[in-house]
């Protein structure tokens, strides 16, 4: 009966016995589409032939340079994404069972093999390996999602606001890679009625950068609640960044704003960060064209100038990370940029985060936005 291997496969047979190897090759040649078979007589030769083109490995556990399961462990380490089928002697059935428990997809007893059984075992081994890899990816994705959710809740907390005179809206979208970055924001109202805000962006992507963003966000909130002045706060954050970062080239941009208790004035520091937008008396503009100073983590003796921003009685303000202005928009796609962002706000007549984000196409980076508006009663 013709063996059922309906597509041409590339196999590696690791077998030191020429007679056994000849038998396996003859059985495989009876398949509908005989596979390409590479032969290795020992583990050393197998290492040289285990290329990504190999779709299934048939390995004898009695090799001259590896004892029993040692050969399997080496093969699994060298080809973690390849199906492995173990060949055993009649007296070594228990070793075959142990091999499956150690990671092989199946085992065959040499004396009981025919063409149909061998073809079916290879096909099933490949399907089991494919299912195992799919399950592993699913588990990894679930773990990543859980970790991202945990970090995101720490990066993007709820505001500590007591005043109903302030409307506070936030949005966050992950970049196209799906990996959480170090964007963070926070808003705290202190007992004197002042509203303190921060938005920041740790350069890079991944759990280390996200964790660093969490540390900086929590430190900022702690320092604000402790009543520390802005200059001390920024120097402390700079020191913390240098102590906690994994590499000396990692820096952080951020923007801080403190709105006075009567909500008519703000002081800001733009620390190497994109300039905030302000809508005041119907006019849309950037708060400043010139940043207060460089990002955190660049210069040890950096200083950051204060930007005074009169707000008046009716206003709204938007702080954002560079993922927004670096987003692709339009056909053909182009970067939004600060001028494009200003045009969108002018077109809408107000800062509407959902309408703004609806214009955004592919994100190359995480996008975080905070909008505050004085509520006129």
pLDDT-derived band of residue 336, with 50, 70 and 90 as boundaries?
Answer: confident
Task: Give the mean model confidence (pLDDT) for residues 64-74.
Answer: 81
**Is residue 180 located within the same domain as residue 321?**
yes
Residue that wins the pLDDT comparison between 62 and 243: 243
Query: End of a domain among 136, 170, 188?
Result: 136
Distance separating alpha carbons of residues 230 and 232, to the nearest angstrom = 5
**Is residue 168 located within the same domain as residue 81?**
no
Query: End of a domain among 136, 169, 192?
Result: 136
Residue 302 lies in a domain: yes
Query: Under a CB-based contact definition with an 8 Å cutoff, are residues 48 and 39 in contact?
Result: no
Query: End of a domain among 86, 103, 136?
Result: 136
Residue 284 lies in a domain: yes
Q: Which range is least confidently modeled, 253-262, 296-305, 353-362?
A: 353-362
Q: What's 48's domain CATH number?
A: 3.40.50.2300
pLDDT > 70 fraction of the chain, expressed in percent and rounded: 91
Distance separating alpha carbons of residues 269 and 306, to the nearest angstrom = 6
Question: Model's pTM, two decimal places?
Answer: 0.64
Residue 4 lies in a domain: no
**Is residue 171 located within the same domain as residue 306?**
yes
**Is residue 272 located within the same domain as residue 343?**
yes
Q: Which range is least confidently modeled, 187-191, 208-212, 317-321?
A: 208-212
231 is in which domain, residue-wise? 156-374
Bridge partners of 256, per DSSP, are 198, 269
Helices and strands in the chain, H and E counts: 10, 19
**Is residue 192 located within the same domain as residue 129?**
no
Residue 17 lies in a domain: yes
Burial class (CB in 10 A: 0-12, 13-18, 19+), 333: exposed
Task: Give the mean model confidence (pLDDT) for residues 212-223.
Answer: 94
Distance separating alpha carbons of residues 297 and 241, to the nearest angstrom = 6
Distance separating alpha carbons of residues 348 and 344, to the nearest angstrom = 6
**Is residue 278 located within the same domain as residue 162?**
yes
**Is residue 104 located within the same domain as residue 179?**
no
Distance separating alpha carbons of residues 277 and 309, to the nearest angstrom = 11
- Position 90 scores a pLDDT of 59
**Is residue 62 located within the same domain as residue 167?**
no
Query: Under a CB-based contact definition with an 8 Å cutoff, are residues 199 and 320 in contact?
Result: yes
Residue 149 lies in a domain: no
Residue 1 lies in a domain: no
- Position 151 scores a pLDDT of 59
**Is residue 231 located within the same domain as residue 356?**
yes
pLDDT-derived band of residue 3, with 50, 70 and 90 as boundaries?
Answer: very low
**Is residue 204 located within the same domain as residue 287?**
yes
Residue that wins the pLDDT comparison between 229 and 135: 229
SS3 279: strand
Q: In this predicted model, what pLDDT tens digit does every residue of 228-245 receive, in sequence order? A: 999 999 999 999 999 999
In this predicted structure, the answer to whether residue 142 has a pLDDT above a threshold of 60 is yes
Structural domains counted in the chain: 2
Q: What's 357's domain CATH number?
A: 3.60.40.10
DSSP 278: E
**Is residue 113 located within the same domain as residue 171?**
no
- Relative to beta strand 195-205, strand 252-259 is antiparallel
Most confident of the ranges 33-42, 154-163, 192-201:
192-201
Q: What is the DSSP string of 216-241?
A: HHHHHHHHHHTT--HHHHHHHHHHHH
Residue 150 lies in a domain: no
**Is residue 192 located within the same domain as residue 92?**
no
């Amino acid at each position: 009966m013709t063996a059922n291997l309906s597509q041409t496969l590339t196999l590696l047979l690791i077998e030191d016995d020429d007679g056994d190897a000849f038998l396996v090759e003859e059985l495989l040649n009876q398949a509908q589409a005989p596979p390409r078979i590479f032969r290795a007589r020992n583990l050393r030769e197998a290492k040289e032939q285990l290329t990504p083109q190999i779709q299934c490995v048939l390995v004898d556990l009695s090799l001259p340079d590896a004892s029993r399961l040692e050969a399997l462990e080496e093969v699994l380490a060298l080809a973690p994404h390849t199906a492995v089928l173990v060949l055993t002697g009649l007296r070594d059935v228990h070793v075959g069972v142990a091999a499956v428990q150690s990671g092989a997809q199946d085992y065959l007893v040499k004396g009981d093999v025919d063409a149909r059984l061998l073809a079916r075992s290879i096909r099933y081994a490949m399907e089991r390996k494919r299912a195992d890899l799919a399950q592993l990816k699913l588990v990894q994705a679930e773990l990543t999602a859980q970790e991202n959710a945990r970090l995101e809740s720490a990066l993007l907390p709820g505001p500590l606001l007591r005043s109903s005179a302030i409307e506070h809206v936030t949005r966050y979208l992950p970049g196209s890679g799906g990996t959480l970055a170090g964007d963070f924001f926070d808003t705290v109202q202190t007992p004197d009625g002042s509203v303190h805000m921060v938005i920041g962006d740790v350069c890079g992507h991944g759990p280390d950068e996200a964790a660093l963003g969490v540390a900086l966000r929590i430190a900022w909130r702690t320092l604000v609640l402790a009543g520390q002045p802005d200059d001390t706060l920024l120097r402390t954050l700079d020191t913390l960044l240098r102590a906690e970062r994994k590499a000396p080239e990692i820096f952080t941009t951020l923007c801080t704003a403190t709105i006075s208790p009567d909500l008519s004035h703000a002081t800001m520091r733009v620390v190497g960060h994109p300039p905030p937008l302000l809508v005041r008396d119907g006019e849309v503009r950037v708060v400043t064209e010139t940043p207060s100073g460089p990002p955190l983590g660049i210069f040890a003796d950096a200083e950051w100038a204060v930007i005074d921003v009169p707000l008046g009685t009716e206003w709204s303000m938007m702080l954002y990370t560079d993922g927004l202005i670096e987003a692709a928009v339009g056909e053909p796609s182009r970067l939004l940029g600060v001028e494009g962002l200003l045009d969108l706000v002018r077109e809408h007549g107000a800062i509407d985060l959902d309408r703004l984000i609806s214009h955004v196409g592919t994100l190359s980076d995480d996008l975080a936005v905070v909008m505050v508006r004085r509520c006129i009663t």
